[in-house]
Amino acid sequence: THIITSPCIGTKDQACTEVCPVECIYDAGEMYLIHPDECIDCGACVPACPVSAIFPEEDVPAGEESFIARNHEFFGA
Ligand code: SF4
Ligand code: F3S
């Protein structure tokens, strides 16, 4: 799956939602989050985000690891 990290907070640009072919990016209040069971890892959302908030789960940067659990737990996944 792909993971949305802290730069989305306060930005919520939503460009990612427009390019996702399976519509697995959901409004989660202060940020958007990706449903890990629905994401097909196509990568389309990564360059679409103007604040570079999205990463493949295995490439989430240091200090942003807590967002891995946040993306999973929001969906109970
Ligand atoms: Fe959607 Fe592809 Fe991004 Fe997954 S990697 S959230 S399927 S655009
Ligand atoms: Fe957030 Fe970037 Fe999408 S700011 S809503 S992850 S385009």
pLDDT in tens, 20-67: 999 999 999 999 999 999 999 999 999 999 999 999 999 999 999 999
69 lines ligand 1 (CB under 6 A): no
Instruction: Please tell me the residue having the least CA distance from ligand 2 atom 2.
Output: 49
Which domains does the chain show, CATH number per domain?
2-74 (3.30.70.20)
The predicted pLDDT at position 56 comes to 98
Q: Of the bound ligands, which one is closest to the alpha carbon of residue 19?
A: 1
The predicted pLDDT at position 25 comes to 98
Per-residue HEC secondary structure of 16-67 comes to HHHHCCCCCEEECCCCEEECCCCCCCCCCHHHHCCCCCEEEHHHCCCCCCHH
ipTM of the complex: 0.98
Q: Of the bound ligands, which one is closest to the alpha carbon of residue 45?
A: 1
Judged against a pLDDT cut of 80, whether residue 77 lies above it is answered with no
33 lines ligand 1 (CB under 6 A): no
